[in-house]
Amino acid sequence: MGIIGTAGERQHTHPPERADDLADMELPDQDGAEHRLGDYWKDAPAVLVWLRHYG
Amino acid sequence: MQSYRERGAFEKEGAQLVLIGQATPRHAAHFRRRQGIDLTVLADEKRRSYKAAGAKVATLNELVGPKVMAKGLISSMRSRQPQGRTIGHPAQLGGTMIIGRDGSVAWSHMSEDASDNATPEEIVAALRGI
């Protein structure tokens, strides 16, 4: 691990072919209410954006 | 945040936008207020979903290298919004993924460096292709 948590060596992204591992994850929203990720694409496609930070 | 501003285009293609950040619900609430977002923002303090999505942690050069800084400056000038304080793991990168109703990952663009983000146009084109 490098300065401020940076990787010492270049990493590679590895998005999965299926979102099965993501589907059952529950994450809280801004009010603390839990949301199951898989519910977002149950009825229609979902665009998930992972923010680098809340800046 | 460009994705949020263009979310109407995604909805027109029948998809909803989900924003996930790497901090606490309190930080997510602050972020929503600051950015004027009226969409749910999910908080993933432990970055479990980042790992499951295959997002990577940047090297120092991928975080603050000259190319990254130049692109970041241009982006801030275009959006007229300077980058705020970093919350969470400073070197964690994000990305974008389109997931279909069958749970398959129809398209993805995970960031290769801190300045590498999918454009709304790329996302709309990908939605039209699924």
Residue span of the structural domain in which B26 resides: 1-81+90-129
Residues 6+ apart with CB under 8 A from A15: B53, B54, B95, B97, B105, B108, B110
Contacts of A30 in chain B (CB under 8 A): 25, 28-29, 31-32, 40-41, 43
The pLDDT of residue A55 is: 60
Which CATH number goes with the domain that contains B3?
3.40.30
Asked if the Cβ–Cβ distance from A54 to B88 is below 8 Å, we say yes
Average pLDDT of chain B is 90
Q: Mutating which of B97, B102, B115 best tests the A interface, going by the most A Cβ atoms within 10 A?
A: B97
Domain count, chain B: 1
The pLDDT of residue B49 is: 98
pTM above 0.95, yes or no: no
The pLDDT of residue A29 is: 97
Q: How confident is the model at residue B74 (pLDDT cuts 50, 70, 90)?
A: confident
Q: Give the chain A residue nearest B76 (alpha carbons).
A: A55
Residue among A36, A19, A18 at smallest CA distance from A27? A36
Give the mean model confidence (pLDDT) for residues B89-99.
96
